[in-house]
Amino acid sequence: MSRKPKDLVALVVDCGPNMRQEYRNGQTYMDLVKTCLTQIIEQKIFCQSKFEYILIGLGIDDSKNAEKSEYPFVARLSDLGVANLKLLKTIKSLEPTDNVGKLIDVLSYTAELMHTLPNPKTKYERKKIGLFTNFSFTISGPEAILYSCNIGKPRELYLNVVCRYTFDELSARRNLFPCHDHFLQLLINLDKLTSVFTFDFAVSSLPYFEPSEQNAAPWYTRICVGQDLMFPVTGYIKTTEHKKRTWSKAYIEPSEKDSQYEPSEDRESHHQASIPLSRNVNYKTSEESNIELDKEEIAKAYLLGKIIVPVTPEDEEAMKFQSFWPPAVRVLFWTPQDNIRQFFFTGSRSMIFIPDIRAKDFAPSVAFNVLTHAMLDAKSVAIVSMMRTIRCNPQIGCLTPCYMGDSLVLIYNQLPFAEDIRRYSFPPLIDEKERPQDVPSNSELDLVDDLIKMMSLVEKDPSGNLVEYLNCEAVHDPFDRIQFKAIVHRYLTPNVPLPKEIIEDQTLTTPPHILKRCEAVFRNLKEKFKLVETLKRFSSQQNSNNICNPPKKIKSESDLETLTEVSLNKGLIESENGVDKSSLELDSATMEMFTKFTQQLNELAKDLLGFNDGKIIKIIEEYRKKSIEFNAPYVFNQFMMSYKKQISHKSVWKMIVKKQITLISNKEISASEISPDEAMQFIN
């Protein structure tokens, strides 16, 4: 993984008296500066940026500055380092003072620190000074010229100013206030090294989270076609699965642990008292002897069924895959692009391939472009096998030609092996014989067309620019966002409960203004399509209570009805060996209770259709058994004849045939009108 160039940033905060002025709705300029700095530091912590920061205050009391004789009212408030929670806590503690310092003093002091503090071996792409001010400083014309000519330009120190005015507004006010005139002269002298932003623009432009940027190490390889044709290429990881932050267990001293949620003046000691824990694993036999073993006495083994097959280190080494070919991407076939469905893409990352960047001539680039253009014109993709090293497991994937800017590249996505594929059967929504005419009318199509247009991902803003919602490069994982904000809140305010806006993250939601303009379409769609939510026939909470406390004896008709429901639900939900034994107590029930029992079985057998074939088989077997016990074969036979129409084309019917669950014949019970041959013919 190559290192990304980093910046050195000095955050200079004006803490003078003008920062007490109200900005809007009771919010002072100091509050606004804290908001901007908090957003900058939090987003850098979130994306684990390697940028290094230092915080400097202007207008700070001399007691906080060791070099007060040379630079009065200027203080370094943090050490140089990457963005962290300690720096964030320092920003939260900033308050305005009555001191007015010199702008050139703080800029000169900052330039010295940026030159002396960093490690001489560390290379920075840029050095920037961020000045957040409401003009609580003094500056003269000669000082502005002196800094820009002797410090700013020679050292290439970028100066980004965040204040209440734009550059044009400062130009209009230069004759009213000398401070503004000299400050504007400083900005003009620095020329391209300066930028001016207003507080409103800074707050709205700073995202709360920033994408993590890393330069992937190139993989120099080749695309092989056959044994002789090779295309030298360079591969880069384009997307990869993000690893979640993990919890770390730590030991907290008892005095700190007991008072961690009580008010305390010094909360820093609480964080310093947290000591990481180490984990020790003890191995013991599962037999009655319970012998403790050393790690050297343990052998690896594979569990095949109920048999454990031990494997020696020599066996493990021999089982490792080793290719007879050098690492490369080998084309197996070409196929039309329509044959590769997106739901076949697997793996945790995708890659892009471009011509070999090490080539000294244009031959690899020309050959690569010919290959990609031919694939694009033929609308085909290449099925390839990829091996990064000789000993790694091989992958199968596809190379798809795609434009990135003006260049053609090949996108690699991993495809599954047969062991990775799971097949599921889904029941049709409506029986084929009962299916209505589902051809949509023109009015229905127009309504859905309007809905799609109104909820478009891309639309134009008032200025005519295209705005894209839910851009994958700007949408962050809600879990990661909530966890990060909660940790920051816990560090800064350990005694305050988490606010509601942290817990309820509204990242993956449709913008309110889009939902509002779609209200009329929603109403028309509800009138056109009478869709009703299907409710469950019984409450799982009520069933669990009944299962935990079933009646032990039948004393009344209500007790019997309760027991019937308990035995049925317990057999469906909890029992792994069929319907619960308590259902056998139904033998003494009346025929009326048996009728209710069979009605419940009929409904549940239909509700579970397509979701749990094993439970349906258990229901049918119990249904058949009870019908014989109550001398009511016609109930079960009639149910199976009607039920067969719904399941004859489903997997559950194959299980019924395999288990030989036939109709109840007159050989089993004389009340039946079905002969044994007719009963067997029913499942054949």
- Residue 458: phi and psi, rounded to 5, are -120, 130
154: Cβ contacts below 8 Å, ≥ 6 apart? none
Task: Inform me whether the pLDDT recorded for 293 exceeds 90.
Answer: no
The lowest-confidence range among 111-115, 209-213, 465-469, 541-545 is 541-545
Predicted confidence (pLDDT) per residue in 612-656, tens digit: 677 788 888 888 888 888 788 888 888 888 888 777 777 778 888
- Residue 400: phi and psi, rounded to 5, are -115, 125
Task: Inform me whether the pLDDT recorded for 287 exceeds 60.
Answer: yes
**pLDDT at residue 168 in the model:** 85
Q: Using pLDDT thresholds of 50, 70 and 90, give the confidence band for residue 64.
A: low
**pLDDT at residue 147 in the model:** 83
**pLDDT at residue 627 in the model:** 83
What's the pTM value of the predicted model, to 2 decimals? Answer: 0.61
Name the average pLDDT for the chain: 78
**Which carries the bigger pLDDT value, residue 572 or residue 509?**
509
Long-range contacts of residues 216-219, Cβ cutoff 8 Å, at least 24 apart: 216/1, 216/2, 217/1, 217/2, 218/357, 219/351, 219/388
Task: Inform me whether the pLDDT recorded for 533 exceeds 80.
Answer: no
Predicted confidence (pLDDT) per residue in 550-573, tens digit: 333 333 334 434 434 434 443 333
**pLDDT at residue 502 in the model:** 67
Pairing mode, strands 137-138 and 101-102 = parallel
**Taking the CA of residue 80 as centre, how many other CA atoms within 13 Å lie in the half-sphere pointing to its CB?**
15
Find the mean pLDDT for residues 411-430. 79
Q: Using pLDDT thresholds of 50, 70 and 90, give the confidence band for residue 611.
A: low
Structure tokens given for 265: 């003046």
Predicted confidence (pLDDT) per residue in 335-366, tens digit: 998 888 888 888 888 899 999 988 888 888 99
Structure tokens given for 578: 């069929």
- If we measure between CA atoms, which residue out of 272, 287, 207 comes closest to residue 481? 207
Find the mean pLDDT for residues 442-453. 88
- If we measure between CA atoms, which residue out of 468, 475, 488 comes closest to residue 39? 488
**pLDDT at residue 506 in the model:** 60
Question: In residues, how long is the chain?
Answer: 684
Inter-CA distances, 589 with 73, 177, 556, Å: 93, 99, 10
**Which carries the bigger pLDDT value, residue 459 or residue 352?**
352
Residue 119 one-letter amino acid = N
51-79 core/surface letters (b: 16 or more CB in 10 A; e: else): bbbbbbbbbbeeeebeeeeebbbbbbbbe
| DSSP code of residue 112 | H
**pLDDT at residue 288 in the model:** 66
Inter-CA distances, 262 with 200, 209, 249, Å: 38, 31, 21
Question: How far, in Å, CA of 172 to CA of 181, rounded?
Answer: 10
**Any idea which residue has 């391209």 for tokens?**
192
Find the mean pLDDT for residues 579-605. 55
Question: How far, in Å, CA of 62 to CA of 252, rounded?
Answer: 37
Q: Using pLDDT thresholds of 50, 70 and 90, give the confidence band for residue 368.
A: very high
Q: Using pLDDT thresholds of 50, 70 and 90, give the confidence band for residue 1.
A: very low
The lowest-confidence range among 239-243, 405-409, 660-664 is 239-243
Most confident of 494-503, 550-559, 588-597, 661-670: 661-670
Q: Using pLDDT thresholds of 50, 70 and 90, give the confidence band for residue 129.
A: very high
Do residues 629 and 598 make contact, with C-beta atoms less than 8 angstroms apart?
no
Q: Is residue 560 helix, strand or coil?
A: helix
Q: Which domains are assigned to the chain?
A: 6-205 (3.40.50.410), 219-228+233-239+322-420 (2.40.290.10), 252-319 (no CATH), 443-528 (1.10.1600.10), 540-681 (1.25.40)
